[in-house]
Structure 1
Amino acid sequence: MDPTLDYEQIGYAVADRVATVTLDRPEARNGYTVRMSDELAHALERADADPDVRVVVLTGAGRDFCVGADLSAGGLDLDGADPAAWDEPAGRCSMRIFAMNKPVIAAMRGAAVGAGSTIVLPADYRLASTDSRFGFVFSRRGLYPEGASTWFLPRLVGLGRALDWMVSGRVFDAEEALGAGLVHSLHEPDRVLDRAHELARELIANTAPVSVAVIRQLLYRMAPLDSPFPVRRLDSRLIAGAFTSPDAVEGILAFLQHRAPHWRGSVPADLPDGLPWR
């Protein structure tokens, strides 16, 4: 996507070091389109590259987060594409969230079904309203799961629950999502976005941006390995280098002096060298 192009189906705003990315088709209950997927991927890339952005909040305009693919909005951009090389739309967003160096907080209300459930799985936090509904409904449409959700979902809720939700394709409520660990907390519908921004401010005040960037990627990329030994080697190298980092010095001094830290590190500029995923 051309970086000078105005967004048509999402909103993008930065304030107080938080980038708020909003699915903005409330008249269609934020039905997911190819255009929306590309705009989301572009906005996430933009936020990740901006040193003034520390946290991203992903939300939806209106009463619903996203009701899934808008089947009335045209095809899937497959014309002339090689199916072996084509990237389906939900994955264009979910995989960009996976690759983020900055935390992503999803703030959802109302329906979060289909793409509305899959694109938020790689987020660091998923906050939902008490009236939220979720569903991986692909089996009920003769389709297949999207957005690498068959990789993400079992890691969040366990294989048994993932099998139930995906094989049945049933829609389930916010309490079931909370009990299974799909969402972190529930809030009244008019409080979800406020709480997401409060959480963003807590992360900005208390956590070092470079540490957060490395930690979220360590968890995603190293946890699936079949041995802890390569993880320990990387840990040792990172920790050995950390004590020459201004943020490590500041974090320890702030703790000893009982004051708030003042982080100097910037993402992506100050990420350590030698990270295997870079």
Structure 2
Amino acid sequence: MSIRTDYTHLYTELEDGVLTLTLNRPEKLNAFTRQMQLDFIAALDAADADDAVRAIIVTGSGRGFCAGADLTREEGGKPFTAGDYMKEGADGLTDYSDTRLRDGGGRLSLRIFECLKPIISACNGAAVGVGVTMQLGMDVRLASTNARYGFVFPRRGIVPEACSSWFLPRLVGIQQALEWAMTGRVFDADEALKGGLVRSVHEPEDLLPAAKALAREIADNTAPVAVALSRQMMWKMLGADHPMEAHKIDSRGIASLGLSDDVAEGVASFLAKRPAEFRDKVSTDMPDYFPWWERREYR
């Protein structure tokens, strides 16, 4: 399968197993639109289905990463409204059950959460509103010294979106999450690093090379199925109520993959002191207990 390159608000480049997704509205600092949401989700669908993709990097074109939702009328009409989807229930109260009420940033965050490929954020500039919340479900976040972050929602009269009330406290702790979410202030990359939002800060010219070096380490040295399972195990276990839940899934993974060709190759390459050549594919060789969270017998 080949990676599409004809998206409207997204530029894609696949090189030696590393897929770079570049948000591509530089004249608007890559402000988020419904089309960008659809492009991004479609690109993740394609990446999950393509075994040539081993890791994903997300960055922005031009000076910004993503300046939040596009608030201009010509792009999105009246911002933060639900159109005609909000109805009154039989009890006279507002009925919020229509799935079309769900915010676009949240739809993207949930798709990122379910992704089978590791995702690295290379934040090159301004990342406010959905520009920062979309990064929370990515696995590793790198920042340029030019990066600026802001959970600016209370300064626009709204609440955090894109599942950020779930992701942010788990990444940085409740105290830091509340400070950023309640003040709505914009802060720099050094504060993001100190607060645990990003893994490292780089000079602008070094940002993408650093992200690609990390992606290469994954792509060149690891088994795709093991990485896909590890990613889902880590994220899904954040909601577990007891370590026994992790123990059950760990044990199924060890028992299942222990019979695989990849494990035989991993051991053989270690003993022979040579690079491993893993051949199992995410598209065809995921174990039969996956996805365990959707199957009643594994709950």
Structure-1-length-normalised TM-score = 0.94
Q: Specify the alignment match of 2:235 in structure 1.
A: 220
Aligned equivalents of 1:187, 1:270: Cα separation in 2: 37
Q: Specify the alignment match of 1:18 in structure 2.
A: 18
Deviation at 1:268, TM superposition (A): 2.7
Helix, strand or coil at the partner of 2:218? helix
Q: Specify the alignment match of 1:56 in structure 2.
A: 56
Deviation at 1:92, TM superposition (A): 2.2
Aligned equivalents of 1:11, 1:252: Cα separation in 2: 39
Aligned equivalents of 2:258, 2:85: Cα separation in 1: 49
Q: Specify the alignment match of 1:71 in structure 2.
A: 71
Note the 1:65-214 alignment, pairs <5 A. 65-72=65-72, 73-75=75-77, 78-81=82-85, 83-84=96-97, 85-86=99-100, 87-214=102-229
Asked if the contact 2:4–2:43 (Cα under 8 Å) also holds between the matched residues in 1, the reply is no
Can you list the C-alpha shifts for 1:182-236, whole angstroms capped at 9, x where unaligned? 1111111122112211211111111111011111111111232111113212221
Deviation at 1:81, TM superposition (A): 3.2
Relative to structure 1, the CA distance from residue 248 to residue 5 in structure 2 (aligned partners, 3 Å threshold; closer, same or farther) is closer
For structure 1, which runs of at least 5 residues remain unmatched after alignment? none
Q: Specify the alignment match of 2:91 in structure 1.
A: none
Aligned equivalents of 1:5, 1:12: Cα separation in 2: 6
Aligned equivalents of 2:239, 2:139: Cα separation in 1: 17
Asked if the contact 1:174–1:186 (Cα under 8 Å) also holds between the matched residues in 2, the reply is yes
Aligned equivalents of 1:39, 1:79: Cα separation in 2: 22
Aligned equivalents of 1:200, 1:89: Cα separation in 2: 27
Aligned equivalents of 2:17, 2:163: Cα separation in 1: 29
Structure-2-length-normalised TM-score = 0.88
Relative to structure 1, the CA distance from residue 267 to residue 4 in structure 2 (aligned partners, 3 Å threshold; closer, same or farther) is closer
Deviation at 1:79, TM superposition (A): 3.2
Compute the RMSD of aligned alpha carbons: 1.8
Aligned equivalents of 1:249, 1:172: Cα separation in 2: 48
Q: Specify the alignment match of 1:42 in structure 2.
A: 42
Aligned equivalents of 2:245, 2:10: Cα separation in 1: 40
User: Which moved further from structure 2: 167-176 or 234-243?
Assistant: 234-243
Aligned equivalents of 1:259, 1:247: Cα separation in 2: 14
- Confirm or deny that 1:277 pairs with 2:259: no
Relative to structure 1, the CA distance from residue 43 to residue 149 in structure 2 (aligned partners, 3 Å threshold; closer, same or farther) is same
User: Which moved further from structure 2: 68-77 or 18-27?
Assistant: 68-77
Stretches of 4+ moved more than 4 A in 1? none
Aligned equivalents of 1:6, 1:92: Cα separation in 2: 21
Deviation at 1:260, TM superposition (A): 1.2
Query: Counterpart amino acid of 1:98?
Result: F
Asked if the contact 2:121–2:135 (Cα under 8 Å) also holds between the matched residues in 1, the reply is yes
Deviation at 1:13, TM superposition (A): 2.1
Query: Counterpart amino acid of 1:176?
Result: E
Asked if the contact 1:38–1:92 (Cα under 8 Å) also holds between the matched residues in 2, the reply is no
For structure 2, which runs of at least 5 residues remain unmatched after alignment? 87-95, 295-299
Query: Counterpart amino acid of 1:81?
Result: Y
Aligned equivalents of 2:120, 2:244: Cα separation in 1: 31
Query: Counterpart amino acid of 1:277?
Result: W
Identity over aligned residues, as a percent?
47
Asked if the contact 2:125–2:147 (Cα under 8 Å) also holds between the matched residues in 1, the reply is yes
Aligned equivalents of 1:4, 1:216: Cα separation in 2: 24
Aligned equivalents of 1:216, 1:210: Cα separation in 2: 10
- Confirm or deny that 1:256 pairs with 2:252: no
Deviation at 1:62, TM superposition (A): 0.5
Deviation at 1:116, TM superposition (A): 0.9
